[in-house]
Amino acid sequence: MREDRFREGWREWISSNNRGWRIVVGFVCAICLALFLHFREVRLDVLELNGNASRYVVAQVDFEFPDYETTIILKQEAMQDVGKIYQIDDKQIREARYALEDSLIHDKKWRTAAPFSTFEEMYKAADEVETSLLESRFTDPRTIQKIKELNFPDTSYNEFVSESGEMCPPAEFWQRVTQQITEGNIFHKETIQYVVDFFHLRNWELVEDSALENAIRSQVSRTIPDKMTKVYSGTRILNPGDKITSRHITMMQSMKQAISDSRKIWDPLTITASLLLSLIFVFRRRAAKDGGQRMLIFADSICFDDFPQQVSTMAQFTIKPFVDSL
């Protein structure tokens, strides 16, 4: 009997004055408000590029921002490690190759200097020397070290520091070319020595390889990561009258992202808090009648003080009249 009376009393309370539908609508409003509370956008001062700050702007939380200005300076300093890179004029190399072929055809001295060598062997050795000269580059030791750090092949690079102003390959270069070709064990030593000496005795001029310099400097620039500068909470970002730059705008965007991340919107505790606040706000009239005035004031201070005036006014004139009728 008691259960029947309880059910009948509950049904009468629900059915009177369409209270059941109003409760359902109230919960729908509470859920909508909870979503609004939970996913609300972080509001910060909007800065206009090249404008002047109208008031102080202070960091609200600790955050890091990509410091592009510092990154550019670091990249410029790193690119200065790449010095000038020189190469032998390819036109001179082709002229020397043609002269060697002509000498092999018309001058038979090479047969005496290299008695075990054939014309075909001489021709192939000339190809090897020509390729080595075309691939050879000359630069300072710091640039070679930078090339090694980039994991680029450095076998074709030779140390070259011109103290007297002469722009010609050093003597050590020809010894290195001879050693590289000898390591292949393809040609007789007399063949290699004759061909290398023929090229060595000619006049050579080094020219700057600007394309390679720019390519290496670009690669060095890409290896420098973006500098992340730490800003602590309470640090003054702008003073009144300061000119707003792209650096300030980047700082504000990073601070906004840091505030959003600190909210942890997918944390169960945060979701529960948003639901509780929305329920307190929607049913605040009932809570006040039941003696929850202090909780009401606390909920008002959180809900209304943290949102724009338009949202507060909308809530006052749309949700409150509905709740008052419950």
Q: Kindly list the domain boundaries of the chain, sorted by start residue.
A: 15-39+265-324, 77-223
Q: Are 178 and 199 in contact (CB under 8 A)?
A: no
Cβ burial of 55 (10 Å; 0-12, 13-18, 19+) is exposed
pTM over cut 0.85: no
3-state SS assignment for residue 159:
strand
Phi-psi region of 151 (alpha: psi -120 to 50; beta: other; left: phi over 0): left
* pLDDT, tens digit, 9 for 90 and up, residues 176-210: 999 989 887 888 899 999 999 999 998 898 999 99
Spell out the long-range contacts of 71-78 with Cβ–Cβ below 8 A and sequence spacing 24 or more: 71/224, 71/225, 71/226, 71/227, 74/224, 74/227, 75/220, 75/221, 75/224, 78/220, 78/221, 78/223, 78/224
Say what percent of the chain tops pLDDT 70.
Answer: 74
Quickly list H helices, the chain: 2-15, 19-38, 68-79, 90-106, 109-113, 119-135, 141-149, 171-182, 189-200, 210-223, 246-263, 268-282, 284-289, 293-305, 309-324
Which pair of structure tokens corresponds to residue 227?
């500098």
Cα–Cα distance measured from residue 194 to residue 196, given in angstroms and rounded to the nearest whole number: 6
* pLDDT, tens digit, 9 for 90 and up, residues 111-157: 888 888 899 999 999 999 999 999 999 999 999 999 999 998 888 99
The predicted structure's pLDDT at residue 164 = 62
- Distant-in-sequence, close-in-space partners of 220: CB < 8 Å, separation ≥ 6: 75, 78, 79, 81, 82, 146, 150
Q: Are 236 and 60 in contact (CB under 8 A)?
A: no
- Distant-in-sequence, close-in-space partners of 13: CB < 8 Å, separation ≥ 6: 19
Q: Are 238 and 248 in contact (CB under 8 A)?
A: yes
Residues of the chain with pLDDT under 50: 287-326
Cα–Cα distance measured from residue 43 to residue 77, given in angstroms and rounded to the nearest whole number: 38
The predicted structure's pLDDT at residue 283 = 66
Query: Taking Cα atoms as reference points, which of 79, 64, 65, 54 lies closest to residue 243?
Result: 54
Sign of CA dihedral 197, 200, 203, 207: positive
Torsion of CA 314, 316, 319, 325, to 10 degrees: -150
Mean pLDDT (the chain, rounded): 79
Characterize 124-149 residue by residue with b for buried, 16 or more Cβ atoms within 10 angstroms of its Cβ, and e for exposed.
Answer: ebbebbbebbeebbbbbeebbebbee
Count the residues in the chain: 326
Which residues are registered as beta bridge partners of 208? 86
**How far is C-alpha 76 from the geometric centre of its chain's CA atoms?**
16
The predicted structure's pLDDT at residue 22 = 66
The predicted structure's pLDDT at residue 2 = 61
